[in-house]
Structure 1
Amino acid sequence: MLTLAILLAGQIAAPDTPAPAPVGAQVEVEGQAQAPAGRLGTAQQGGGDIVVTARRRAETVQSVPIAISVIGGTAIAETGAYNVARITQLQPTLQFYSTNPRNSAANIRGLGAPFGLTNDGIEQGVGIYVDQVYYSRIASATFDFTDTERIEILRGPQGTLYGKNTTAGAINITTRAPSFTPEARVELSAGNYDFFQGKASVSGPLVPDRVAVRLSTSVTTRRGTVYNVRTGEHLNSQDNVGLRGQMLFKATPGLDLTLYADYNRQNPDCCVQYYVRTGATQRPLNRQYAALAAAQGYAVPSTNAFDRVTDVDTALRAKQELGGVSLVGNLDLGAATLTSVTAWRFWHWDPSNDRDFIGLPITTVSANPSQQSQFSQELRIGSNGDHALDYVLGAFYFYQTIDTQGLQVQGPAASAFLLNPTSAGGRNPATLNGLTARNTIGFTNTSAALFGKLTWHVTDALQIAPGLRLNYDEKKGDYVSVVTTGAGELVTSAARFNDQRGVLAPQSYQPRFDNWNLSGDITAAYTVTPDIHAYATYARSYKSGGINLSGLPLDLGNNPILEAATVKPEKVNHYELGLKTQFLDRRATVNLAAFRTDIGDYQATVTNGQLGVLRGYLANAGKVRTQGVEFDSAFRPNERLNVYFNGAYTDAKYVKFVDAPCPPELSGGTAATAANPASPAGTIGGFSPANCDISGQRLPGVSKWAFSYGAEYDLPGQVGGLDGQFYVGYDGSYRSTFSSNPSRSLYTDIKGYGLSNFRAGFKATDSWNVFGWLRNAFDRDYYEVLALQSGSTGLVVGQPGDPRTYGVTVSRSF
């Protein structure tokens, strides 16, 4: 629960701030002393407080005893932070990783979702909410923000305030509301790599003072940054379209209803990971990557990943459609407001991947198209006004179905690459050529909860706020994998199919999990002075158990291990101290937070060493701990200059994980025994342990140090008779080395890096904004993720981050 990170909406508080009020569908914040949406910094604009709805009521952000960051809509446009991945450069404790939209993970302080390929059978620890609706698919985080008013990032467990339980935090997105005053916005951007982005919105009344609508759209296209020398195509492109509509109906002075509808489509040539380096495993020399590739006369087009060339031989596709409808109603009962949020959403995923990552026909098809539907209903009642005892009480129901049709096909190079080349099967291409697994996967997820939060104003300065959540979760799955040879013969458990089952194993299992749990938290908040707020929080939370829906690991007989079909719930104990301060006539803000989170039965994504297992499976680590200190600061030395500097020290590690999968340098050899103990790391042809004790190692994806910093300077001026400001801005970020493998390996550590972004332009008052931008200005080479080729070949592949990009943005408000 970090306090304020970057209040990009501006914040000089007025002497008299509004009393907290329950959040309605459309809060008329213009009538309150709210700051306008500024470009950066907590002390930029002046004239009011930032109003947020983190606690399901409208409150000023500095007084909320929750670690929260707020990014305004203007900041999203001017910093280029138009999706969750780009927000990470502004927010030190938010991590987002994505090898394709489905295989994405949003983490806060290193917690949220296991690092690695996504498994549908578990929950996300970081909840994504848009206009109060929970988005169950993390793929939604890859879409562009459309007509966004603000984004609130909350840290720490939030289950006593939010519909779906979130043990690591929440990303709360609020779009711009329909307006009874006609207005329109247009924003156009163009840049290198054929980048184009267009956004537009229009709003106004249909019936004066009764019905208002808002329509908005966004389009983003960009040529890919990686060139495929085999096909002549540019990969990792962008092709996004978003449509959103809202209609507000003020039925009576005390009742308003808002209908939302949205549709989003992505269809890029994406997503490729390709050769980065090799590292020695414990396989025999003739089964290491270099020897396997040489035996087939193959060489990658470049061994320098930042040449940005590849030769993958499978067409890539990352097509997805996401959308839905929701109805939010608010009924003012006088002393309280009753809120209903009803929503239905869908997500359709149509991918194609090259899972051998190179130009040899090893795995020629790897695709898991999926269709998801979800329904949710939330009902809340919250007290109005400033009472001695304020409350929010709620009930939540969620039902989700997912249907997946998986297909994996091995090619003519598979036998030589995946089997022992000296064996009969390895010498015969027909052994694996055409080997096909067709997977039929079904999943249903039911969740129901009662939750509530009380705020007792013991005195004008002291608040005590306990919360409780009663939760029920039920998950049912059905996994069937039918495997056939290239000749169409059904692969069975017969010994003659051992080579095939070692690569693609037929499986059929029906996992089920259900559980009740009770969680809660308590916060004590104290207002030392109007500009100094302190708080302390303890939370006991649970992350629902799950089921494995990506296939099970195999035993020594190449049979699935059914005991691995389910994973236990995570048990979370969270502690936090926070201090929010402003001084120098509120021209400076410095906020501090110290936290510790202990998790028992941590849900980890692990991989096994068998040749054909492309997807990880879930397992429980004994115990994980993350702790650290975070600070956020922003300064406004004068009317023209704003500066911010935010940082986080995060120590996240496995406290106890004694049976973890081994890193690649300890994998692939002959099974170690008492007579033949495990060999040192990287011993070619050595003996490998069945598992490894990685207790004390850092969690993947988490940098020990992370910072964001920047400044903006403006001068009044005039262009074409328009009054406004010329401005120049800088935004920088840095993160230290982090691991990109569940079990840390020197082969997959990503070195620390810093990025610098610049912008400069002219903004006319309430109309034009024209600016040029330069991102990754110094063309820093860095990786977003690294991964391993299956089968302990020693090949390390990766996804480089964007190179230097530049362009111009023009926007106009009417």
Structure 2
Amino acid sequence: MMGSLRFWLLGGTAVVLCGSIPTFAQETGVATGGLSDIVVTARKRSESMQKVPVAVSVASADALEQHQIFEAAQLPQLAPSLQVQTVNSQVGAKNFSIRGVGTAVYGPQVESSVAVVIDDVVMSRPSMGVVQFFDLDRVEVLRGPQGMLFGKNASAGLINIVTAKPKIGKTEFLAHATWGKTNSVTSGNEATLEMAGNVPVSSNSALRVSGFVTRQDGFAKNVYQSENLGLTEYGARAKYLVEGDVLQLYVAADIAHEEGPGGSVLIRRFAAPGGVIDTASRADGVIPSKDNGLVSGNARTTNSFDLGGIQATLGYDLGDGYSLSNITAYRSYKDSLQFDTDSTSLSLFDQNQGGRDYWQFSNELRLTSPGTGPFTFQAGLYYLYVNAREFLTQGGNLETLLPAPPAGMSNLGVVLDFQARSKSAAAFAEGQWAITDKVKLMAGGRFTHDELRFYSSRTNPNAFAPLADLGVDNVAVKNDDFSYRLGLQYEVNNQTLAYATYSRGYKGPTFDQVAVTPVDEEIAKSYEIGIKSTLLDNRLRLNLALFRTDFSGYQAQVLAGSTLAYRTVNAGDLRTRGVELEFSALPIDGLTFNGGLTYNRAEYRNFGSVPCYPGQPTGTSGTNVCLPNGSTNVSGNQLVVAPKLTGTLAGRYEAAVSSDATIYVQADGYYRSAFRYTADLDPQMRIGGSVIVGASIGAKLFGDSVDASLFVRNLFDKRIPTWITADPVAGAYGDAAGGGDYWHQFGTTSFRTVGISLNYRM
């Protein structure tokens, strides 16, 4: 209790001191100018970021291009409270965590604690949020529970992706091309071409069309057989906007296709010395290690997906600043995969193939008041239907490993077919009352009704005993919840805003895909105080937030020991608390600095019955020891993929050399302290602290029509995996006794890349 009190007292003092920094007058002779205002939609209306009492990080389209960020895995370099990890064997999909909390659960029945919204449409599954960063307006990272106004869930935070809208009365053409050389085990070529065009259709309407194609050589190489482990992705968007005096219509559609496994390849990181996998791998010329990029599978590795959707937004001006809008959207995602589970030339467990078939329909009706006045509000109704199916066939021949296999049970095989259908309906409202000219009270609530049904068909032909207890199940669950947010904001002066909020977030119930039993809802209770200040004649922007969030019923996934499967459970209680600092500075015209620092203590408070890892020290009681029942208690450990300290720093200098030419140089760094990919203290799942450095040099010609640059990402080639996971079949191989077997995956951020970038605007 005293520790928490000291934390808030110290934090409150820091906020007061930050808000007390005076705004100094500009000295005579210094060139005028300042930082550009940043507009966000963190409260579903366009507002200055410095006037919104929400902790939000923003990456503009220009910032994304300047830092060569073209996919979600690179976003933490601009938002230190955000972490991203790969969804195991699911090409392209990412799981986000904010302030240490996210979701890494395999299965069609589970939604994310961090929601992804694209153009006001909530993506119900991580894979639906797979999006190439092209022709965007901005990406917003909203920290803390955001379920009031942004659709379903978002109990830990929200990624709000806003694409570029059609521009009425303007004709433009944009093109962006990059080529890079990645220091991977293959030739390492990457290339991207993106184009967008905007044309007026009439005096009050416009059409915008964009497309992209990207090619990435593989991050892994198969030394046993020749196969393409890279990826090719292409897609397109079309958007049409009509603005009348009273009515506004916005229609958008997009498609994307990706072929190739890319970053989803499972690569041997560690194998029990002298064990089956270690011996077979070394015989093939593959040495499992932290830098290993080689595999030796005798079965093929393939991966592909198709996604797309269409949405229509109809807006109606009710007069006097009031408006009514309705957003109807449909989205779908399908993929297929195949990989060699044992990743050796032996035929131990070669058959692992399946796919996913997701689609969703959503509708949101919203009433919005004028943005000014003593009382402003938004209220609405929301509906979401999701149909998510996942199927998988696994098999192999373990006869050589089982000294006396039961008759007819020499094979390890399973056929899984899961289907989750969910309905969610909600009513919500949030408002702000101006108590005085400087003080506003905020309050909002959301009532949600969820209905879920889970179908599970699990057959196990010719399987040995641990996998034989399977069947067919059909279960359902319903749940109601009321989540809310309360807050107070105080405008210290025109340049400084202080705020305090309390939020109750909600993530609906789900099912364990093995036992086919309900898993309770996830509840977040979050406290936050913050200050946003613009100082030194708009030359310095400094934002500070202190937070504490307690989660109960956190939904997590654990390896279920001898069942060789992953179980979804309520992992007890979590607590995250910390400090976030972000700044932008323009010390002299042409020189800008941006950065952020996050300190986060994210811990499991009550999480027992986690299966022991191979070689874990034994004991009869306590935490982080293997108990006689084969489980361990990880209470007090740092959350998965939750470094205690992260920081970003970027500097850019531009100088005009003529009326039509500007040169620039840029450098950026990203620091992340040590973290783990598992809740226990398994040494094989730990990643040490690292610093990732990037740089670029370039020129803008003919005004801003042409922008050419040379760039490097991950200058010092820090080999950081995007995911590490234990091999669940290590026990069947007999390798568990020797320390187990582990895979890792690599992505675009895992290697040094040197390249060129070219932008053209007309």
**TM-score when scaled to structure 2?**
0.89
Distance change in 2, residues 1:295/1:96 (3 Å) = closer
Which residue is 1:16 aligned to?
Answer: none
Which residue is 2:14 aligned to?
Answer: none
Give, in angstroms, the shift of residue 48 of structure 1.
4.7
Give, in angstroms, the shift of residue 300 of structure 1.
5.4
Give, in angstroms, the shift of residue 53 of structure 1.
1.2
Distance change in 2, residues 1:92/1:137 (3 Å) = same
Which residue is 1:432 aligned to?
Answer: 410
Higher alpha-carbon deviation: 740-749 or 694-703: 740-749
Matches within 5 A, 1:373-522: 373-410=359-396, 412=397, 414-417=398-401, 421=402, 423-425=403-405, 431-433=409-411, 435-485=412-462, 500-503=464-467, 505-522=469-486
The match for 1:632 among 578, 582, 588 is: 582
Identity of aligned residues (%): 28
Which residue is 1:602 aligned to?
Answer: 554
**Is 2:117 the partner of 1:129?**
yes
**Is 2:519 the partner of 1:567?**
yes
Q: Is the 8 A contact 2:156 2:505 kept in 1?
A: no
**Is 2:231 the partner of 1:238?**
yes
Quick one: distance in 2 between partners of 1:602 and 1:392? 30
3-state SS of the aligned residue for 1:74?
helix
Quick one: distance in 2 between partners of 1:143 and 1:47? 29
Q: Is the 8 A contact 1:160 1:452 kept in 2?
A: yes
Matches within 5 A, 1:525-564: 525-549=489-513, 551-552=514-515
Give, in angstroms, the shift of residue 296 of structure 1.
10
Which residue is 1:88 aligned to?
Answer: 76
The match for 1:768 among 689, 706, 712 is: 706
Quick one: distance in 2 between partners of 1:705 and 1:266? 35
Which residue is 1:727 aligned to?
Answer: 664
Give, in angstroms, the shift of residue 800 of structure 1.
3.6
**Is 2:317 the partner of 1:332?**
yes
Quick one: distance in 2 between partners of 1:354 and 1:399? 35
Which residue is 1:654 aligned to?
Answer: 604
Give, in angstroms, the shift of residue 517 of structure 1.
0.7
Distance change in 2, residues 1:637/1:293 (3 Å) = closer
Matches within 5 A, 1:39-50: 46=34, 48-50=36-38
3-state SS of the aligned residue for 2:571?
strand
Quick one: distance in 1 between partners of 2:365 and 2:691? 44
Quick one: distance in 2 between partners of 1:572 and 1:789? 32
The match for 2:211 among 190, 214, 217 is: 217
Q: Is the 8 A contact 1:49 1:60 kept in 2?
A: yes
Which residue is 1:743 aligned to?
Answer: 680
Distance change in 2, residues 1:262/1:393 (3 Å) = same
The match for 1:317 among 299, 302, 305 is: 302
Which residue is 2:349 aligned to?
Answer: 363
Give, in angstroms, the shift of residue 218 of structure 1.
1.0
The match for 1:249 among 242, 246, 258 is: 242
Q: Is the 8 A contact 2:623 2:634 kept in 1?
A: no
Q: Is the 8 A contact 1:159 1:451 kept in 2?
A: no
Give, in angstroms, the shift of residue 716 of structure 1.
0.7
In structure 2, give the amino acid aligned to 1:372.
Y
Q: Is the 8 A contact 2:147 2:506 kept in 1?
A: no
Higher alpha-carbon deviation: 792-801 or 315-324: 792-801
In structure 2, give the amino acid aligned to 1:318.
N
Partner deviation per Cα, 1:89-113 (whole Å, 9 max, x = no partner): 2211111101344663111111131
The alignment's C-alpha RMSD in Å is 2.5
Quick one: distance in 2 between partners of 1:181 and 1:297? 61
3-state SS of the aligned residue for 1:666?
coil
Give, in angstroms, the shift of residue 627 of structure 1.
0.8
Quick one: distance in 1 between partners of 2:292 and 2:683? 23
3-state SS of the aligned residue for 1:62?
helix
Q: Is the 8 A contact 1:602 1:624 kept in 2?
A: yes
Which residue is 2:291 aligned to?
Answer: 306
3-state SS of the aligned residue for 1:700?
coil
Distance change in 2, residues 1:290/1:516 (3 Å) = same
Q: Is the 8 A contact 1:65 1:525 kept in 2?
A: yes
Give, in angstroms, the shift of residue 294 of structure 1.
4.2
Distance change in 2, residues 1:205/1:314 (3 Å) = same
In structure 1, give the amino acid aligned to 2:424.
S
Q: Is the 8 A contact 2:117 2:160 kept in 1?
A: yes
Give, in angstroms, the shift of residue 278 of structure 1.
4.1
Give, in angstroms, the shift of residue 246 of structure 1.
0.3
Give, in angstroms, the shift of residue 46 of structure 1.
4.0
Which residue is 2:650 aligned to?
Answer: 710
Q: Is the 8 A contact 1:463 1:525 kept in 2?
A: yes
Name structure 1 gaps, 5 residues minimum.
3-42, 280-287, 486-498, 553-561
3-state SS of the aligned residue for 1:85?
helix
Quick one: distance in 2 between partners of 1:679 and 1:124? 31
Q: Is the 8 A contact 2:224 2:284 kept in 1?
A: no
Quick one: distance in 2 between partners of 1:322 and 1:510? 28
Higher alpha-carbon deviation: 770-779 or 793-802: 793-802
Which residue is 2:176 aligned to?
Answer: 187
Which residue is 1:24 aligned to?
Answer: none
Quick one: distance in 1 between partners of 2:761 and 2:634? 55
Q: Is the 8 A contact 1:661 1:743 kept in 2?
A: no
3-state SS of the aligned residue for 1:664?
coil
Distance change in 2, residues 1:229/1:569 (3 Å) = same
Give, in angstroms, the shift of residue 804 of structure 1.
1.1
Which residue is 1:691 aligned to?
Answer: 631
In structure 2, give the amino acid aligned to 1:186.
A
Give, in angstroms, the shift of residue 354 of structure 1.
2.8
**Is 2:258 the partner of 1:269?**
no
Q: Is the 8 A contact 1:647 1:706 kept in 2?
A: yes
Partner deviation per Cα, 1:772-797 (whole Å, 9 max, x = no partner): 11111111222222111114521122
Quick one: distance in 1 between partners of 2:324 and 2:282? 69
Matches within 5 A, 1:576-595: 576-595=528-547
In structure 1, give the amino acid aligned to 2:55.
A
The match for 1:106 among 62, 85, 96 is: 96
Quick one: distance in 2 between partners of 1:322 and 1:573? 34
In structure 2, give the amino acid aligned to 1:598.
D
Which residue is 2:184 aligned to?
Answer: none
Give, in angstroms, the shift of residue 137 of structure 1.
2.2
Quick one: distance in 1 between partners of 2:33 and 2:201? 33
The match for 1:803 among 751, 755, 762 is: 751
Quick one: distance in 2 between partners of 1:89 and 1:416? 48
In structure 2, give the amino acid aligned to 1:708.
T
Which residue is 1:33 aligned to?
Answer: none
Which residue is 2:166 aligned to?
Answer: 178
Give, in angstroms, the shift of residue 638 of structure 1.
0.1
Aligned pair count? 711
Give, in angstroms, the shift of residue 58 of structure 1.
1.2
Give, in angstroms, the shift of residue 679 of structure 1.
13
Distance change in 2, residues 1:679/1:149 (3 Å) = closer
Q: Is the 8 A contact 1:305 1:800 kept in 2?
A: no
Quick one: distance in 2 between partners of 1:92 and 1:679? 34
Q: Is the 8 A contact 1:83 1:141 kept in 2?
A: no
Partner deviation per Cα, 1:305-338 (whole Å, 9 max, x = no partner): 4252221233222211110100011111113111
Name structure 2 gaps, 5 residues minimum.
1-10, 12-30, 182-187
Quick one: distance in 1 between partners of 2:623 and 2:85? 32
**TM-score when scaled to structure 1?**
0.83
Q: Is the 8 A contact 1:774 1:804 kept in 2?
A: yes
Q: Is the 8 A contact 1:366 1:409 kept in 2?
A: yes
Quick one: distance in 2 between partners of 1:710 and 1:697? 32
Give, in angstroms, the shift of residue 50 of structure 1.
1.7
